[in-house]
Structure 1
Amino acid sequence: MFEAVLTLCLAGAEAECRSVLLPGYEAATMADCTAMLADTAPDLDVFGADVIAPGAPRCQPAGPVLDLQEIAPRLWVHKGAIAEPDRVNGGDVSNIAVVIGDASVAVIDTGSARWMGESLWRAVRARTKLPVSHVILTHMHPDHVFGASVFDGARVVGHAGLARALADRQANYLESLASLIGADRLIGTAPPDIDLAIDGKMEIDLGGRVLELSTWPTAHTGNDLTVVDRVSGTLLAGDLVFDGHIPALDGSVTGWQAVLEQMAGQPPVRVVPGHGGPVLPWPAGGAATARYLGVLAADTRAAIADGLRLGAAVERIAQGERDYWQLFDAFNARNATVAYTELEWE
């Protein structure tokens, strides 16, 4: 298989370059790919003024394909590393799902950068020629959203509060990612535009495959969204459920507890968490997240009742959970700070 690419370099730093995929020009032969480029020129304005192209688009053998595991018929999941983004993993640290219907395809989350969206695009194309009709984003965090721009022509779907949340944070997210994974790995990456904002519930029909989307009150974040694939009985929970990776609180600990309790009554039999897994039984698969949040809340209330100031409280809160989670030191202090700030005013 061959594909069209364009070399892009950071403006003012021409040594930092990357070959960016131009989706839609895949062909079995180099000649066919080149003919497609000659017939229909790609729109290169989408990459903006921060990069320059030292050459014209060209065809080459297809690049790396994201690893996907089929956990149910025509439901594929990629398991990201349980790690913080770095130059080795390139930001591949969260789970991604692909659901294939009879008429079209939905992608749930897209990774930290365009290079991940490109690898995901190739993985979809390796399995079906059906169009990707929807890209569903479960919440605002960068490891879930920044590969979305690869799927030009798909409707990008998210919580009604997602666009505003991204607008407020996207500059900081991209700056932080550049320092963690390298500016060259981010070349071509752009914040997603939300085409369909949801408040409540809606259904997406992929052709014989209905996905039920639900938005939630403030929990993990202020813009959490889940997907239920009715055919397979699978809940795609985003970061409302963690496995192995310590939960990361960027919203409300009490809100998250309430949402998990409500979700536990839903009919799915399995869950894909935002990190870990990649597939767990439901509702048992949410028990560890619920336990951690319970300890976090209880320890925070106890620290406040004992009159501890924030700095001292953070050193004590949820320490009994340390042995159950990876990345505990990277996230627990932040979680404790968020919980303390919320619960001191109860």
Structure 2
Amino acid sequence: MRAIWKGAIAFGLVNVPVKVYSATEDHDISLHQVHNADGGRIRYQRRCEVCGEVVDYSDIEKAFEEDGRTVVLSRDELKSIPAENSHEIEVVQFVPSEQLEPMMFEKSYYLEPDSKSPKAYVLLRRALEDTDRVAIVQFALREKTRLGALRIKNDVLVLQSLLWPDEVREANFPALDADIRISAQERDMSAALVESMAADFDPTSFTDEYQVQLRQLIEAKLEQGESLDTEETFGVEAGEGGKGEVIDLMEALKRSLDRKRGGGEAAATGTSDDEADTGEEEAEPAKPARKASAKSPAPKTAAAKSSAAKSTASKSTAAKSGAAKSTASKSTASKSAAKSTDTKSTGTKTAEKPAAKATRARKPA
């Protein structure tokens, strides 16, 4: 890291020399503009609208315009402002950290000791630790007087610039003034959903999916060139996204809870969703779930519908099996009847033969 500024923290009569470093950085992939016809890079020129000439940066000054009047301010005039020349981070208050509005936080900086002995630095850090407070400071950086909060992170002093009160907009939304009634059941369901998603925050478990996919697209483009197939690269059609659907609030809460609980049960039993939806379960176990769902005044949940579908599928399978068994039984019965008929027929023929012999025996007499 490279220091962007040097100064000193004024802690009463104690002076703490420090170097200031940006604590954060942008991880986004840098893209620039080009002409789509030939790939030539697009450059912007600083052109004067009066004379039409391209102006070098060194010949550009800043100005303020109001009511048709323009005031030009040179670099030397801006640097002459006392606050701009100050390299002091002045501690003005020590406040409880919970009193700071998170919306006011702007940018974070690391402060490194900038002296042969870091004793004053450690003393200030210990004072913040012992009192469990945050130091409110004022300082000037990059042509702007700033308000800041001085806190500790891993034994390092961190300076967080704060927005001024008039830089935070008021939220005025008439829709929130309407009388909205939330039922006790809706509150219980939402609380249960929160509990099912509760966890300790671990920022390393989250990924900037857009940047990952952008890198994937760039690498695929380098390999395949203009023959790139975005659907094949990402597995979905380009531009495909989620489609919003207006649904009942209670239904949404129930479905969300069922999804969370279902995922937990599947993980505990080692059963995948595909295995759970094969429809091979017995028809009887699904009935209690349907009865419980029928008793509930709320709409059917996705789980209840799934159970009903499974029950129907099981009944259909059972019906088919029964029909098959019935058909097989009928076929067997038919065959048995046929055999019986054949036997009777054979018996009749056998009985007829002696009678015929007896008739032939009587003729000579």
Shorter-chain TM-score range: under 0.3
How does the TM-score come out when normalised to structure 2? 0.21
How does the TM-score come out when normalised to structure 1? 0.22
Based on CA coordinates, which of the two structures has the bigger radius of gyration?
A: 2
User: Which of the two has greater strand per residue?
Assistant: 1
Structure possessing the higher relative contact order (Cα contacts under 8 Å, 6 or more residues apart): 1
